[in-house]
């Protein structure tokens, strides 16, 4: 199924140009976002829940989909993992073609590099904290070194890294990871997939 996503950043902008292009591209469903906030995108969240393996996501322009480069990388990496094709009309990106597959590989490499750099910065921060004589162990609230790990855990989770990979990279337990996510008020991911169709007798 071809699924389109259109967005304008303010309520006084018009979606017609994007919708016309998406309809011309053959989209069966178009999610229309008309919000001024970059953080709140209910239509994007609905679309991500609706996507399933074999679907094609079509956008008019890259900046209509993502709020930043890191957000774009994480979204495209998620599409790759879920085997959802990605098409951007004005930027000539189509992951159903050999060149598009090459683009996905490059994006995946950059996403992995970003995660590795984040882990490296976390380990460097921990080492620096220990050199300053920060005491390890439990006390009320998080110690300085645990705050560094907690922030990294939340950031990696937002980057769509799996819970197992985060725990392995940061050497923490699953229970600790989810405690950090609750403390950081990070919204937990839901299982992807399209709701089953209800059949009427």
Cα separation, 62 vs 31, in Å, equals: 15
* 43-60: burial string, b at 16+ Cβ within 10 Å, e else: bbeebbebbeeebbbbbb
Cα separation, 123 vs 130, in Å, equals: 11
Q: Tokens standing for 88?
A: 């951007």
Cα separation, 164 vs 170, in Å, equals: 10
Annotate 54-108 with three-state secondary structure.
CCEEEECCHHHHCCCHHHHHHHHHHHHHCCCEEEECCCCEECCCHHHHHHHHHHH
Catalytic positions, please? Answer: 9
């Amino acid at each position: 199924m071809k699924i389109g996503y259109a967005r304008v950043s303010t309520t006084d902008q018009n979606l017609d140009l994007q919708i016309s292009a998406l309809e011309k591209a053959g989209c069966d469903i178009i999610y229309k976002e008309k919000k001024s906030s970059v953080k709140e995108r209910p239509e994007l969240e609905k679309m991500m829940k609706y996507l399933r393996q074999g679907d094609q996501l079509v956008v008019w322009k890259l900046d209509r989909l993502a709020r930043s480069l890191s957000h774009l990388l994480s979204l495209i990496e998620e599409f790759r993992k879920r085997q959802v094709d990605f098409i951007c009309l004005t930027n000539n990106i189509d992951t159903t073609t050999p060149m598009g597959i090459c683009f996905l590989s490059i994006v995946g490499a950059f996403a992995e590099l970003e995660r590795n750099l984040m882990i490296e910065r976390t380990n460097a921060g921990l080492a620096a904290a220990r050199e300053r004589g920060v005491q390890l162990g439990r006390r009320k609230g998080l110690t300085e070194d645990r705050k560094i790990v907690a922030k990294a855990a939340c950031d990696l989770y937002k980057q769509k890294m799996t819970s197992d990979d985060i725990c392995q990279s940061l050497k923490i337990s699953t229970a600790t990871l989810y405690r950090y996510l609750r403390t950081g008020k990070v919204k937990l991911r839901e299982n992807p997939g399209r709701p089953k169709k209800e059949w009427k007798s």
